[in-house]
Structure 1
Amino acid sequence: MNLSTDTCYQALLARDARYDGRFFTCVTSTGIYCRPICPAQTPKHEHCRFVASAAAAQEAGYRPCLRCRPESAPDSPAWAGTSTTVKRALRLIDEGALDDDGVEALADRLGLGSRQLRRLFQRHVGASPLAVAQTRRVLLAKQLLHETGLPLADVALASGFGSVRRFNEVFRKLFGRAPGTLRGHQGGAAQAPALTLCLPYRPPYDWQAMLAFLARRAIPGLERIDGECYHRLFRVGEAVGSVSVHHVSDAKALQASIRLPDLAVLPGVIARLRRLFDLQADPEAIRQGLGRDPALAVLVERRPGLRVPGGWDPFEVAVRAILGQQVSVDAATRLAGRLVERLGERVAGQEEAGLGRLFPAPERFTFDEIRALGMPGARATALVRLAATYREQPQLFDRRLHLDDTVVHLCTLPGIGEWTAHYIAMRGLQESDAFLPTDVALQRALAEQGRRPTPPELLTRAEAWRPWRAYAVMHLWQADMATTMARPREERGDAALA
């Protein structure tokens, strides 16, 4: 952890919300760990031990505070920018990689030994991979107990515990009581039509910009923006579900209403929503990183809560990116709509919400079907070969150790050049440093006295923006869009492709 104990204690005394999620306080006199904003009486300095993650606190034997609810803290950015391997591992753990398999299988997937993986976790997170997975289960279960009326057996299943017995054992050991006594919502009733959860973020959050970006790219039948709410259908494994998301500014969270027949895949759904809405971003770190460039400092000051919109999964993002090559955003969205209408599986019972189709599975991509959409032959071939490769290699879109390796790997796929590869990395893999130096909108936004920077010049300038170049892309796209919309209609170009 990069914060001194004195800094942490001063933040604790002030209940400074800027540090929420950056560290947790382990109180040796009570055996409890808390968020910096905990309303309880502040313990003495000598009774405080500060750690970088909830997992480190629980592995050290401390139990979560029932007042400040550590599960409600925004995701900790303590390890951001320190270890790409750890970030990849954390993402896989969030998706349930350790619910069925062990650390050895996770390490093998990451391309290193299990001992090396454990050493990296101790260095960057302060806890073992298994402790991180266990903490994820406990905190999700605790959130479900507080915020929903799910029966206890369903809470155990939805949070990744292998059995109700194991669920009860962990909670009795950690809290000294049965899970049912922690309820903040009356339970025991039949499952509600929708499971509603709060997904916290680190403020500020520009919800209007996020909605506007997604609305312009919303595929009819698959997703819809209704006023201030985002809706979509999805498939995770064999489970088909739907989700509606809206902003709750007072709670500094997005509220997601999830309809899901198989609660075992809930952790994976939550992980996808966090990536889609970029809930792990640290606006203060981004502000400091981009603020070194005077032009960007002005843009960040104007929209400090701007995020990088993600995608539901990398394959979908890759298909959308190829559809958007050399056409406008609106044209790409129309193509995607025809693709979903023709190849997407129909889902009954969603007509009232204006939804009814899933994004097509890779198996549905055939050359004749894609060509029938009015697609050029080369692009149709690229989509078909991409889908075939993904069917053969389910881990095709796993992050590599470095962004450059990821881009090189993606560029080996047919129809994917460097711009498209970085776009997939930015939106599909949440690579915060992905960058698009050949993007015309970026060049327009940084033009000086009518001269646009060349791609090499833009790359050189962007070195100072690392590791937040993807956020610079979003700020420059927003600036270019504002300038474009201010011009007469006949002079407008498209502000950003794909």
Structure 2
Amino acid sequence: MIDVEAVREAMRSRDPRFDGWVYVAVTTTGVYCRPSCPAVMPARRNVRLFRSAAAAQVNGFRACKRCRPDAAPGSPEWNVRGDLAARAMRLIADGLVDRVGVAGLAARLGYSERQLYRLLVAEVGAGPQAIARAQRAHTARTLLESTGLPVSDIAFAAGFTSIRQFNETIRQLYATTPTRLRRPGAPRGALGAVALRLSYRPPLDVAALLRYLGTRAVPGVEEYTDGVYRRSLRLPHGTGVVSFRHVPGADHVACELHLDDPRDLTAAVRRCRRMLDLDADQRAIDAFLGADPVLGTLVAARPGLRVPGHPDPGEAAVRTVLSRRSTADRARGHLTRLVAAHGRRLPAPVGRVTHTFPDMASLACAGSALPAHRRPTMLALAEALAREEIVLDAGADPEHVRKQLLDLPGMGRLDVAHIRMRALGDPDVFIPDIRVRRVLYRLRAEPGPWRPWRSYATQHLWTTSADRL
């Protein structure tokens, strides 16, 4: 249920913390906004509240041109929950409906289309097709504003099946035409780099987050130079390279995407957001953990500490297995050799990013090229992922995946915990490895009641451990 009084107070104070959680529609104007929209506050009788942008659109409202509610940070609820609705929302955000349709989404989740529709309408006020439609419109708007692609190409790149459907959707949702959405001075011609602003809920130390990723960069796949972190992406229709840059004083991360195929924009953006943990409700997390007697001082020292995810769950799993029981330098050396031998060279390298990480089918055939100390486990993992016996994606059930991974030879509980945290973005994983145990021993403390944010508690303990080295 939506707390109407809390939303009214957020509207009065222009509180951006509610952006993405709830959408405010005004019946007299036919427009829906963020709660923080700077427009004149409407009368209570003229306001309707919705759980999603898609629900507001289904009910006939169009996006506000001033606050752009369709570009608000996503609801953190879908990343925290592991139920069917949350898994469906994550898969839709990854562009699955555009690739395989609602029938494919339902099959992936093991439910009928009718069951899935009823559940999502009850949860967010719109069915899977309407949610995907809202997402397609936002992707189209991004491409119109930041690229020089012809409008007809943008329509199909965003996932629309016809130009007519595209034009009607843009007119309904934005009260304008696709051509008028183009910004003055926008580039013309072929697809180049797509410049985006990835919004987030403060606080977040972007520079520290990018440094964290940069210190673990694998040459060829990643690089970190002059505060810019860059890496390659394997996407549904091709490959890409993403660059992240900190913008001091801003509430967004500057992102630049180089894509082989513009149809991959939706999936690329979603994976980048999960990689940087940008949809987290960080104030709520910090308030909860900051009240803990053990973690309070650690949280106060690093407000906004995120739990980095990964854009390629298979790669994250392989890197986790290889890094366990090995030094960081040794693991990086093994990974660099694997990339050189089995990675795919990018058609257009960007900086020192020249390859994608090897796909699972290639690793399953790597044999003696894999490090001997973890070869059986890595081969079993790569084969299971290549055959889709184990599926690591936005719709995976963390508990089911945990049981499957533990059945693999040589796979330990700490390995599985790392994979759940990094590959699946599970916010409630405690990893009592040697670094965590040493910090707790130094603090003369025991693990506390940190659910449902144990992944963030672990990240704080790891960071504290690294500061002591």
What's the TM-score once normalised by structure 2's chain length? 0.93
User: How far off is 1:323 after superposition?
Assistant: 0.8
1:465 paired with 2:450, answer yes
Show CA shifts across 1:346-387 (max 9, x none). Answer: 33542x7122222112232256x45346x22x5222222222
User: How far off is 1:83 after superposition?
Assistant: 5.4
Show CA shifts across 1:260-299 (max 9, x none). Answer: 1211121111111111111111102212332342221221
Asked if the contact 1:80–1:87 (Cα under 8 Å) also holds between the matched residues in 2, the reply is yes
User: Residue 465 of structure 2 corresponds to which residue in structure 1?
Assistant: 480
User: How far off is 1:62 after superposition?
Assistant: 0.6
User: How far off is 1:113 after superposition?
Assistant: 3.3
Show CA shifts across 1:423-472 (max 9, x none). Answer: 111111111112213x11111111257x675xxxx4xx3xx212211111
User: Residue 371 of structure 1 corresponds to which residue in structure 2?
Assistant: 368
Moved more, 472-481 or 249-258: 249-258
User: Residue 338 of structure 1 corresponds to which residue in structure 2?
Assistant: 337
Are the structure 2 counterparts of residues 398 and 317 from structure 1 closer, same or farther at C-alpha, using a change threshold of 3 Å?
same
Which amino acid in structure 2 is aligned with residue 122 of structure 1? V
Asked if the contact 1:149–1:186 (Cα under 8 Å) also holds between the matched residues in 2, the reply is no
Which amino acid in structure 1 is aligned with residue 94 of structure 2? E
Coordinate RMSD, CA, aligned: 2.3
Q: Secondary structure of 2:239's partner?
A: strand
Show CA shifts across 1:66-114 (max 9, x none). Answer: 1111133111235564552222111111121111434343222112333
Q: 1:360-399 to 2 correspondence within 5 Å?
A: 360-365=358-363, 369-372=366-369, 375-376=371-372, 379-393=374-388, 396-398=391-393
Which amino acid in structure 2 is aligned with residue 193 of structure 1? G
Q: Secondary structure of 1:224's partner?
A: strand
Moved more, 352-361 or 84-93: 352-361
User: Residue 252 of structure 2 corresponds to which residue in structure 1?
Assistant: 253
Moved more, 237-246 or 299-308: 237-246
Query: Identical aligned pairs, as a percentage?
Result: 40
Which amino acid in structure 2 is aligned with residue 371 of structure 1? S
User: Residue 428 of structure 2 corresponds to which residue in structure 1?
Assistant: 433
Q: For 1:482 and 1:133, how far apart are their aligned partners in 2? A: 43
What's the TM-score once normalised by structure 1's chain length? 0.88
Which amino acid in structure 2 is aligned with residue 479 of structure 1? T
Asked if the contact 2:398–2:424 (Cα under 8 Å) also holds between the matched residues in 1, the reply is no
User: Residue 354 of structure 1 corresponds to which residue in structure 2?
Assistant: 352
User: How far off is 1:395 after superposition?
Assistant: 5.6
User: How far off is 1:400 after superposition?
Assistant: 7.3
Asked if the contact 2:70–2:138 (Cα under 8 Å) also holds between the matched residues in 1, the reply is yes
Q: Secondary structure of 2:245's partner?
A: strand
Are the structure 2 counterparts of residues 166 and 219 from structure 1 closer, same or farther at C-alpha, using a change threshold of 3 Å?
same
Are the structure 2 counterparts of residues 434 and 113 from structure 1 closer, same or farther at C-alpha, using a change threshold of 3 Å?
farther
Q: For 1:206 and 1:158, how far apart are their aligned partners in 2? A: 33
User: Residue 443 of structure 1 corresponds to which residue in structure 2?
Assistant: 437
Q: 1:123-272 to 2 correspondence within 5 Å?
A: 123-187=122-186, 189-272=188-271
Q: For 2:104 and 2:354, how far apart are their aligned partners in 1? A: 37
Are the structure 2 counterparts of residues 185 and 442 from structure 1 closer, same or farther at C-alpha, using a change threshold of 3 Å?
farther
Matched residue count:
469
Asked if the contact 2:390–2:404 (Cα under 8 Å) also holds between the matched residues in 1, the reply is no
Q: Secondary structure of 2:345's partner?
A: coil
Q: Secondary structure of 2:346's partner?
A: coil
Q: 1:52-71 to 2 correspondence within 5 Å?
A: 52-71=51-70
Moved more, 312-321 or 412-421: 412-421
Are the structure 2 counterparts of residues 399 and 190 from structure 1 closer, same or farther at C-alpha, using a change threshold of 3 Å?
closer
Q: Secondary structure of 1:416's partner?
A: coil
Are the structure 2 counterparts of residues 358 and 82 from structure 1 closer, same or farther at C-alpha, using a change threshold of 3 Å?
closer
User: How far off is 1:343 after superposition?
Assistant: 1.6
User: How far off is 1:210 after superposition?
Assistant: 1.5
Q: For 1:202 and 1:9, how far apart are their aligned partners in 2? A: 19
Moved more, 396-405 or 427-436: 396-405
Which amino acid in structure 2 is aligned with residue 307 of structure 1? R
Counterpart selection for 1:417 from 402, 412, 417: 412
Q: For 1:371 and 1:395, how far apart are their aligned partners in 2? A: 23
Q: Secondary structure of 1:310's partner?
A: coil
Q: For 2:210 and 2:79, how far apart are their aligned partners in 1? A: 26
Asked if the contact 1:52–1:78 (Cα under 8 Å) also holds between the matched residues in 2, the reply is no
Asked if the contact 2:62–2:172 (Cα under 8 Å) also holds between the matched residues in 1, the reply is no
Which amino acid in structure 2 is aligned with residue 207 of structure 1? V
Q: Secondary structure of 2:48's partner?
A: strand
Asked if the contact 2:203–2:304 (Cα under 8 Å) also holds between the matched residues in 1, the reply is yes
Q: Secondary structure of 1:257's partner?
A: strand
Are the structure 2 counterparts of residues 120 and 81 from structure 1 closer, same or farther at C-alpha, using a change threshold of 3 Å?
farther
Are the structure 2 counterparts of residues 372 and 100 from structure 1 closer, same or farther at C-alpha, using a change threshold of 3 Å?
closer
Q: 1:8-87 to 2 correspondence within 5 Å?
A: 8-79=7-78, 81=80, 84-87=83-86
User: How far off is 1:318 after superposition?
Assistant: 1.0
Asked if the contact 1:145–1:185 (Cα under 8 Å) also holds between the matched residues in 2, the reply is no
Are the structure 2 counterparts of residues 344 and 175 from structure 1 closer, same or farther at C-alpha, using a change threshold of 3 Å?
closer
Which amino acid in structure 1 is aligned with residue 458 of structure 2? V
After superposing on structure 2, the runs of 4+ consecutive aligned residues of structure 1 that deviate more than 6 Å are: none
Q: Secondary structure of 1:203's partner?
A: coil
User: How far off is 1:29 after superposition?
Assistant: 0.4
Q: Secondary structure of 1:26's partner?
A: strand
